[in-house]
Structure 1
Amino acid sequence: MVPVIASEALERAHVQGAEDKSVNWAGAFATCGGRAAVQSSVIVYEIEPGGHLGWHTDATEESQYIIAGTGELRMEDGTQQVRPGSVFVLPANVRHDLANTGHETLRAVAFFAAAMFTQTFDEVMLPPNTHVLGTPNRGG
């Protein structure tokens, strides 16, 4: 039977920039290789008003769906506004950021085209005090 995951019940990890405190969000892996998926990964996450993910690159293609809130997708070649219902695809290794520019929590789902991957942030992320985050199974 295919597992149905109650994403709202998943415990979120709070992540913040070591220096830039506006890098501030919370997220959870709903699936990844070995956890309800074989060839993909899914993250559910939230950004409070005024916060953003932080500039980073992902080692695999990423698709996102905005559930609630409004924001600004920032890329090196410009910005685009996002709102509930927005869908976008980010190629692997393209530097980007997503900021909450609204007055309510921005809620989104990110779908990754790999069962295991890493994200490399410009800013040191706390926890775990590193530039590199990724799927729980990336250590092997």
Structure 2
Amino acid sequence: MNKVKLNELIMLEGWLENESNSHRKIAFPFYSTTGAEHSSVVFFELEPGHELGSHTDSAEEIVFILQGGAEITLGEESSQLNKDEMVLIPSMVPHNIRNIGNETLKVIGFFPCSNVSSTFTKPVMPINQKEAGAPPIPVDHPIEWNEVVRKIMPT
């Protein structure tokens, strides 16, 4: 059984180039490298006032708010989303998520494919590229997310 405890995930930290309010922590507990064949999950956290940054995804996404309050911008529309609410984001539609609350915003995104590519309007740091997603790790068997992080960020 491939089971994950969110509070035990090693989170990767990132931000958008020249955007001081775009710091985020992110993990991909389920995607192709961790054994998913037809779906993937992203978990991320944003501190108050921070945003993910405008981007498009190669697949549709269902975003579920676990904790906090967010402003979701989807194309030209904006709406507030709070704990226990979710929204459907069509593939290739520009969107952004911003923490408008006073606590850490915790979000899960569900995708209907095991590899998703996200294209941001500005380079994502520290990788310094506009395209991001789950790290490509060639393995001959599924490994847990924390092991993926250990492989790409050795101590």
Structure 1 length-normalised TM: 0.93
Which residue of the partner structure matches residue 107 of structure 1? 106
CA distance in 1, matches of 2:42, 2:77: 25
Does 47-56 or 11-20 show the bigger shift?
A: 11-20
Percent identity for Structure 1 against Structure 2: 27
In structure 1, the gaps of 5 or more residues are none
Q: How does 1:78-117 map to 2 (within 5 A)?
A: 78-117=77-116
Runs of 4+ aligned residues of structure 1 deviating over 4 Å after TM superposition are none
Where is the strand percentage greater, Structure 1 or Structure 2?
1
Q: How does 1:1-140 map to 2 (within 5 A)?
A: 2-137=1-136
SS at match of 1:39: coil
Contact 2:33 2:138 in 1 (8 A): no
CA distance in 2, matches of 1:75, 1:91: 9
Q: Root-mean-square deviation (CA), in Å?
A: 1.6
Contact 2:33 2:137 in 1 (8 A): no
Deviation, 1:18, is 0.9
In structure 2, the gaps of 5 or more residues are 140-155
Structure 2 length-normalised TM: 0.85
Where is the helix percentage greater, Structure 1 or Structure 2?
2
